[in-house]
Structure 1
Amino acid sequence: MKNRSSSLLLGLLLTLGSAELVSAQLFGTLPERCASTQRDSVRLAKNPSLVNLRSRSEEVIERHIHANRVNLRTSADELITIPVVVHVVHNQTDRAVGGASNVNISEEQIQSQIDVLNEDYGNTSGYKGFYTDSLSVDTKIRFKLVTVLRTFNVKTQFSPITDADDLAEISPAWSTNRYLNIWVCRLSDRYLGTSQFPVVTEITDRTSGLATSENEETDALTDGLIIDSRYFGRNSSAITSSIYNLGRTTTHEVGHWLGLIHIWGDRNCGTDYCNDTPTAFTKNETTDLTCAPVYSQCRTAITRNMIENYMDYSPDACMSIFTNDQKERMHAVLALSPRRVKLVEFSKITGDKLLVDIYPNPVHETLFANIFTPNFEIYTVGVFNQKGQQIVPDMTNRTNLNVTSFPSGLYFYNVTTATQTITKRFVVR
């Protein structure tokens, strides 16, 4: 395990060809690739109990990896396919799609991003670096685009740190325990993207379906990624950067969504809890498209940074690696994080029947639903009282229901596809 303490970078220069000793490179002059740490800080401030939970989560992940290392590697040979819903939130008044500077990006640009995710997580990107051949692995995680939802909004830009709730209200997430939701919009404050970290707990038959220590009633609605449209996809006319033009911002943010941490541990010489990623002093924030070596000195040891790693801040062209320890960590999260666990369960269902489970029941605030439809078929939800009167308009692909305004009593939750219908009873207290 990497040493978790921080140390100061010694002020010396290495004369190793074109090598650079890592320093505070161009801070403030480049876009900020990732706002996930800042967004997470806001989330922790709203729910301080998550701090202790996060510490316990690391212990749980470590125990799971060590206890299940053989089984984890065997199960990780099975592909896990994550279905993706892309929410394009734009201010294009004429609703035109695609073209330079248009936030309402094209289907081709969106599909190119899915292609990049599959290449990067499948280790088939073709990009090479110092560590690529020796340490890069296929994560056995793949992605499938299910649908694109386009929503007009007059707001011209959003904060990746504080506006997740707004985006989830403008374009509500499809079930975050079945889909990876990605909101694409124009971001403020130089940021390229952000994501919501998973909360990890022990999953047992006794705790299955219960809320975790996070505020599930809000966090479940915002669980996903937010990416600036100018950096989503590969080499599109709407992508304005030559540094971040290959779709690696989304690759990076999906890594966070799956529990990975920046390779410098978000502190000088910090840890990302992965032994096979060399300790780095700080992020590699640079415009250097030659991908010249960068070195760090932490605790007297000089190491060559893994600038190829998708969890660094390197230019897109320099990125080509997820390591085996990162792969094991992602699969541990998929086995221990409640919504990720449910997503994997759904991904393995091959039947042709509509499946519906609602919880908690009785309920007094928010009712949640686990809904499986074959081939990601769209469904509608209707809610009826005991008199058979519909009291909530039909909702498309919604899995949460606020019942705080409902009088106490018995209700019926009706889920309908083109060919099947299931009705569940629930009680409001």
Structure 2
Amino acid sequence: MITLLLMMGTVSLSVAQVSESTLIRCASTEQDSLRISKNPALFKLRQQSEAVIQQYISRSRVNKRTNADEIVTIPVVVHVIHSEEGRSMGGAGNANITDAQVNSQIEVLNEDYSNTSGYKGFYTDSLGVDTGIRFKLVTIVRTYNSKSQFSPITDGDDLAEISPAWSTNRYLNIWVCRLNDRYLGTSQFPVVTEINNRTQGLATSEDEEQDALTDGVIIDFRYFGRNAEAITSRIYNLGRTTTHEVGHWLGLIHIWGDRNCGTDHCEDTPPAYTKNETTDIECTPVFSDCRGVNTRNMIENYMDYSPDACMSVFTNDQMERMHAVLELSPRRAKLVEFSKITTDELLVDIYPNPVQETLFSSIFTPNFEVFTVSVFNQRGQKVIQDKLNRTSLNVKNLPSGLYFYKVETASKTLTRKFYVR
């Protein structure tokens, strides 16, 4: 991947020339297409996943299960990646955003997902629901890098290398930086697979190992949070880009189905001919004629492209879909499981064991403590140096035999045995 170093003056000029009418809300579809081109089997898996999701939702409705009865709290790690050599925080054009701006985004997420934003629209009162999902900021990780901007489509692995994800089976990782190509944000869609004792929390195939390391959301700092000096847009200024991308991370699809009159698999979102890509902050009604039926678009839906001021709705079907994904997608399911643990003990599970190539781990630390992972041979020699918050290790170059997997926090240590074939 070619790294392009840009001078700050050039960046400032290009930013000034970008019209809000040319901005693109979301790059998730383009990013996902690139992932599928690299791994064609993923497309078939997506089709199978959709069938599993719909079956789960149908069973839940028959059993009269209300998914939002129990609140699911998702811990969030925000990675702020910036090229501010002086490390100063805040201000227009500075990707090293303030803590206050980060906190404002968590507030927006909780308002939007609890249906308490206060914003109104044609469908808000009749179809807007509390999703039963909440967000808790765990930490802000700030990282300087000389690269001043990133592609939301191709640079996810670069961002994950610059600021490695905290365990993606326990945290929602959000990388905040300056994006190029006029995109505001992107997200990695979840993969739904059978959950068993070999797929808890992380994918087990070599092709999907990288997916585990990049699983999360990427947002341009100029559209992250609200009421901050770094936010210069009058259209995308209330934090709804992150609400939208987290929706993708939870399995939601654009309401027009990413094709003319397509489907998002949610019956209570009216058919839409295409996205509501507009700078109209007056939220003028938009109508579609799909399959001979004229309907009013749900421009209030967080999964449209409407201006932030127009957004105020997740529907019941979208809520059901998100909870299905939280139940069926291995990393999401493990995150929910972790969120319910109340013990003060350090918990470590490693798999597969014996292992040939990639060793995965499921690690719980009380109060979201950071941890390091290291590996020792039978002689007590450290053969893999301390890895911060890592939940996958490539061990295929280790000689066959017995090894010790050591997890350490500031207050606790736990060691597990494993065998390399």
Structure 2 Cα separation of the partners of residues 209 and 332 of structure 1 = 16
Alignment equivalent of 2:273, drawn from 277, 281, 292? 281
Pairing of 1:70-219 with structure 2 (within 5 A): 73-204=65-196, 208=200, 211=203, 215-219=207-211
- Aligned counterpart, 2:4: none
* Residue identity in the other structure for 1:347: S
Structure 2 Cα separation of the partners of residues 58 and 214 of structure 1 = 23
Aligned-pair identity in percent equals 74
Which segment is superposed worse, 248-257 or 203-212?
203-212
Query: Does the 8 Å contact 2:275/2:305 carry over to 1?
Result: yes
Query: Does the 8 Å contact 2:20/2:233 carry over to 1?
Result: no
Aligned pair in 2 of structure 1 residues 88, 206: CA closer, same or farther (>3 Å)?
closer
Structure 2 Cα separation of the partners of residues 163 and 87 of structure 1 = 15
Cα deviation for residue 383 of structure 1 reads 1.6
Cα deviation for residue 395 of structure 1 reads 2.3
- Aligned counterpart, 2:5: none
Cα RMSD after superposing both structures: 1.7
Query: Does the 8 Å contact 2:357/2:395 carry over to 1?
Result: yes
Q: Secondary structure at the match of 1:66?
A: helix
Provide Cα deviations, 1:293-339, integer angstroms capped at 9, x if missing partner.
00111111110000000000000000000000000000000010011
- Aligned counterpart, 1:4: none
Alignment equivalent of 1:301, drawn from 259, 273, 293? 293
Structure 1 Cα separation of the partners of residues 417 and 198 of structure 2 = 22
Cα deviation for residue 408 of structure 1 reads 2.4
- Aligned counterpart, 2:261: 269
Structure 1 Cα separation of the partners of residues 202 and 149 of structure 2 = 35
Query: Does the 8 Å contact 1:201/1:212 carry over to 2?
Result: no
Q: Secondary structure at the match of 1:218?
A: helix
Unaligned 5+ segments in structure 1 are 1-26
Aligned pair in 2 of structure 1 residues 28, 144: CA closer, same or farther (>3 Å)?
closer
Q: Secondary structure at the match of 2:348?
A: strand
Q: Secondary structure at the match of 1:69?
A: helix
- Aligned counterpart, 2:3: none
Structure 1 Cα separation of the partners of residues 259 and 281 of structure 2 = 25
- Structure 1 length-normalised TM: 0.91
Structure 2 Cα separation of the partners of residues 36 and 380 of structure 1 = 32
Q: Secondary structure at the match of 2:184?
A: strand
1:291 equivalent in alignment to 2:283: yes
Provide Cα deviations, 1:242-280, integer angstroms capped at 9, x if missing partner.
100000000000000000000000000000000000000
- Aligned counterpart, 2:375: 383
- Structure 2 length-normalised TM: 0.92
Structure 2 Cα separation of the partners of residues 205 and 321 of structure 1 = 37
* Residue identity in the other structure for 2:162: I
Structure 1 Cα separation of the partners of residues 372 and 202 of structure 2 = 24
Cα deviation for residue 214 of structure 1 reads 8.2
Q: Secondary structure at the match of 2:306?
A: coil
Query: Does the 8 Å contact 2:201/2:331 carry over to 1?
Result: no
Structure 2 Cα separation of the partners of residues 283 and 205 of structure 1 = 41
1:236 equivalent in alignment to 2:212: no
Bigger relative contact order (CA 8 A; separation at least 6): 1
Cα deviation for residue 213 of structure 1 reads 6.6
Cα deviation for residue 68 of structure 1 reads 1.5
Structure 1 Cα separation of the partners of residues 231 and 75 of structure 2 = 24
